[in-house]
Structures are given as structure tokens and as C-alpha cells.
Amino acid sequence: MTDLTDYAHYLTPNYGVPPILMTEGQGCRLTDQANRQYLDLAGGIAVSALGHCHPELINALTTQAHKVWHLSNTLANEPAIQLAEALVKSTFADRVFFCNSGAEANEAAIKAARRAAYDQAGDEKHEILCFENAFHGRTIATVTAGGQPKYRQGFGPMPEGFRHLPYNDCNALLAAVSEKTCAIMVEPIQGEGGVRPICPTFFEKIRSACDRVGAALIVDEVQTGMGRTGHLFAYEASGVTPDILTSAKSLGCGFPIGAMLCTESIAKHLVPGTHGSTYGGNPLGTAVALKALSIINNESFLDNVRSLSERFISELKRLNDAHGLFETIRGRGLLVGGVLRERWAGKAPDLVSLGHEEGLLTLVAGPNVQRFAPPLIITETEIDEALEKLDRVYTRFTQTVAT
Ligand SMILES: Cc1ncc(COP(=O)(O)O)c(C=O)c1O
């Protein structure tokens, strides 16, 4: 039987060896090879918004699988056009470029912003301002844009023209923006960087700085998009409108797809031949995402995410009053992080491991934050069950790991 020894033997070691080998998923539950069940508050890292094996997504995928799988972008397909239309009609955007992942969506955003600035102002206007602790993907350009130097280490030389500023620091922002600024790239909540929400004033200042110097505002909603924060996209709650938005993760709810959404004034610079992706707009991925969008982009679905969020956050806070593990609990919707007190710094991975022993899947966001990104279809009963498991995890943590 295939097992984790084979994983360790045959796969590159960049992920380490995962502790569990899963074989099946249904709704908010996963089952491992030994037939143990886990309640999923990780959602494949904020991907499985509709849980595992959602019947309507299975139907969308298999129906399309019987029609046509792949055409390339030399030919058009119906689901890609329909998904682009649905995304345009649901957002600020006028146009959509499809790709296969968050990093690729961000690559497309960087290229689109650079090309638009180049056409309008020449190649001096190429600087992309980004933020410390940001995460935008693992390609060379996106680790350069990201604000975590460890992801760049040993992969140099890096592309030029990226500059990092402290997140939520208005003065540093205003001092850095210039006529050379081509784009400002930001996450509405830094997901990997510790579940840190953007300060509303800072977001507004970014928008006005972009307007002042004719730069594009790129909002990376790879983690926050598709209902995760209780809005289809997180920017909607801010009153700030992007020029470019990137989506992936929950866009395909587990089927790989990414998208770069933009205004007409950006899109018009992506003239034929400027960018492309063999699989981008693949009919299988777009058929699944079209169905996912139709389920998620619905007021009662999004209302439910907001009320589940209130329940989860308030109960987690109550649990924390009893255990005193977290200095703060932050986030929006069903993207929530518990920031460990100084005394337990670096121990967030222990909380995840103890969770496994209790049949619960959670995430970290750096060494000090326990992150929760459950499927958005989680029920109140499942939330209560998860909190009971967390209660046991926190008791064991304070009794064993922490001492
Ligand atoms: C905000 C953000 N952008 C981009 C990415 C990269 O996405 P992908 O792993 O699909 O390339 C991630 C992944 O965690 C992310 O959280």
C-alpha cells in the first residue's frame, strides 16, 4: 500500500513529509488512510470554500468532463466566457485573464501593471510598492513582491523594481510613492503573514496615492476572495476599488484555477501576444468555478458566513478567556487567527499537531499564529464540535507543550 515512506522517497523535500495521508473528503470532514476522521478548519489553506466533494461541483466537473477537457487559447470555450462575464458582473472589473494559481494571477497583475505604465509613461515608471510580511506566491517575481525574505533566500538574483514598506504605515507609504510608482500591491488581510487585516485609512491612502501618481492598485484576494470574509471579495467592505484584483484558491474550490480581474484601462494594454497560459481558461476549471461562484455570490450564503464568523470568533474568545493562550484573535469572516502570547512564541505548530491527535485540522500563519480557514459551508453544530476539540487541544497545550 502507498504510504508516507513512499512520499518521503519520491517527492521533493520542500514540504517536508506531511503527518497524515488523506484518502477521502466529504463536506467539512476528511478521512485518512487508517480511517480516522478529521474535522476540517483548514480547508486546504482557504481553498475548499464549499467543503469536499460538493455534489454541485462534482456535477459541474463531470458534466464538462464528458464534453471537452482542453482546447488551449487558440480556441474559445463556453464556461470560460460565462465565468468571465459572471466575474465582471459581480465586481469592479471589466475584463478577466485566466490562469491556474494565485502566483500566476499575481504574475499577470504585475505584468499588466508594468505594461500599462510602460505604454503611458515609458520604462522609468516600473516600481512596484509592496509590503513587509506580504505573501503573493512562490514564483521568482512573486517571492520578490512578497515581504518575507526567507522565501527569496538562495534564489537570486531577483527581478528589479520591487520595494517593501511596512504594512499599515501611512507615513512610510506617502514618503515612498513617486512618479516612478507603477503599482501598489496589497492583501486586504495578510493571510500567510499572520492574519493581519488592513487598516481602513491605510487602504484609502493607498488608493489616493495610486490616483495621484497614476499607479495601479493591485489587490491580492487569492486568500480573502470568494466569500471568505463574508463578502464576495474583501475590498467590497472597504469602499476602496482596485484597478487589478487577483483570485485563486476558493475560486475553483479545489480545482486549480486563478484569475486576474482588471479595468478596461489596464486590460487594453494586454494586446495580443503580451501574455498567456496554456491551461488558463481551461473548460474544466472554469466550469467548476462558474458553479462555485453561483453558489457563493448569493446574499443569504454571504450572510451566513458573517453569522458563522460571529459565532466562531466570539466562542473562540470565550475559550481563550479560559485558557489565556492568545494575546489577540483577529480576522474577518472565516479567516481567523489567534496570535499566541509572547510566552508561547513559536509554538503555533504544536497547536496544529495536537489538533491532529484530536481529529481536528487547523493551520498556522507563521510560527506565532494559529489560523482557521474552514469551508464556508461549515454548520453551527460543526463549529461547536470544533470548539470542543480546541478546548481539549488548549488544555493539553498548556499542560504539556507550554511547560
Ligand atoms: C494572498 C496570496 N497570494 C498568492 C498566493 C499564492 O497562491 P498559489 O499557491 O495558488 O500560487 C497565496 C497562497 O497562499 C496567498 O495567500
Q: What value does the mean pLDDT take over residues 68-75?
A: 96
- What is the per-residue pLDDT for 220? 99
Pocket test for ligand 1, best of 135, 189, 218 (most atoms within 8 A of CB): 135
Query: What CATH number is associated with residue 377?
Result: 3.90.1150.10
Please check whether residues 292 and 320 belong to one and the same domain: no
Q: Is residue 63 a part of any domain in this protein?
A: no
Of all protein residues, the one whose alpha carbon is nearest to atom 16 of ligand 1 is: 223
How does residue 401 score in pLDDT terms, banded at 50, 70 and 90? confident
For 200-255, the pLDDT digits (tens) are 999 999 999 999 999 999 999 999 999 999 999 999 999 999 999 999 999 999 99
Catalytic residue selected from 125, 205, 249, 291: 249
CB 39 within 8 A of CB 359: yes
Query: What CATH number is associated with residue 173?
Result: 3.40.640.10
Q: Is residue 329 a part of any domain in this protein?
A: yes
Provide the residue type at 99 as one letter: C
d(CA 286, CA 127): 33
- What is the per-residue pLDDT for 200? 98
Q: What is the mean pLDDT of the chain?
A: 97
d(CA 8, CA 28): 27
- What is the per-residue pLDDT for 212? 98
Please check whether residues 35 and 181 belong to one and the same domain: no
3-state SS, residue 23: strand
Pocket test for ligand 1, best of 223, 228, 371 (most atoms within 8 A of CB): 223
* The three grid cell numbers given for residue 96, joined into one nine-digit string: 478577466
Number of domains forming the structure of the chain: 2
CB 139 within 8 A of CB 162: no
Q: What value does the mean pLDDT take over residues 370-397?
A: 98
- What is the per-residue pLDDT for 132? 98
- Of the residues 235, 268, 296, the one at which a domain ends: 296
Q: What value does the mean pLDDT take over residues 27-48?
A: 98
- What is the per-residue pLDDT for 333? 98
Pocket test for ligand 1, best of 136, 219, 369 (most atoms within 8 A of CB): 136
> Within 6 Å (CB) of ligand 1, which residues are found?
45, 101-103, 106, 135-137, 187, 191-192, 220, 222-223, 248
For 115-161, the pLDDT digits (tens) are 999 999 999 999 999 999 999 999 999 999 999 999 999 999 999 99
- What is the per-residue pLDDT for 403? 56
Of all protein residues, the one whose alpha carbon is nearest to atom 13 of ligand 1 is: 137
For residue 203, indicate whether it is catalytic: no
- What is the per-residue pLDDT for 167? 98
What percentage of the chain has pLDDT greater than the value 70? 100
- What is the per-residue pLDDT for 402? 60
Please check whether residues 101 and 13 belong to one and the same domain: no
3-state SS, residue 329: strand
For residue 249, indicate whether it is catalytic: yes
- What is the per-residue pLDDT for 246? 99
Q: What value does the mean pLDDT take over residues 349-367?
A: 98
DSSP codes joined into one string, 153-198: TTSPSPPS-EEEE-TT-HHHHHHH--TTEEEEEE-SEETTTTSEEP
Q: With the C-alpha atoms ordered 129, 131, 137, 140, is the resulting torsion angle positive or negative?
A: positive
Q: Tell me how far CA of residue 97 lies from CA of 80, 142, 261, in angstroms.
A: 10, 17, 6
Q: What value does the mean pLDDT take over residues 3-31?
A: 97
Q: From ligand 1's centre to the CA of 395, what distance in Å? A: 33
Please check whether residues 134 and 272 belong to one and the same domain: yes
Of all protein residues, the one whose alpha carbon is nearest to atom 4 of ligand 1 is: 136
Q: What value does the mean pLDDT take over residues 21-41?
A: 98
Radius of gyration of the chain measured on its C-alpha atoms: 21
Please check whether residues 246 and 179 belong to one and the same domain: yes
Q: How many CA atoms lie within 13 A of 151 on its CB side?
A: 20
Q: Is residue 60 a part of any domain in this protein?
A: no
How does residue 325 score in pLDDT terms, banded at 50, 70 and 90? very high
Q: How many CA atoms lie within 13 A of 220 on its CB side?
A: 31
Which pairing describes strands 360-361 and 95-99: parallel, antiparallel, or unpaired? unpaired
For 106-117, the pLDDT digits (tens) are 999 999 999 999
- The residue segments making up the domain with residue 212 are 68-296
Q: From ligand 1's centre to the CA of 382, what distance in Å? A: 27
- Of the residues 296, 326, 356, the one at which a domain ends: 296
Please check whether residues 282 and 333 belong to one and the same domain: no
Q: Which atom of ligand 1 is nearest to the CA of 103?
A: 11
Q: What value does the mean pLDDT take over residues 86-105?
A: 98
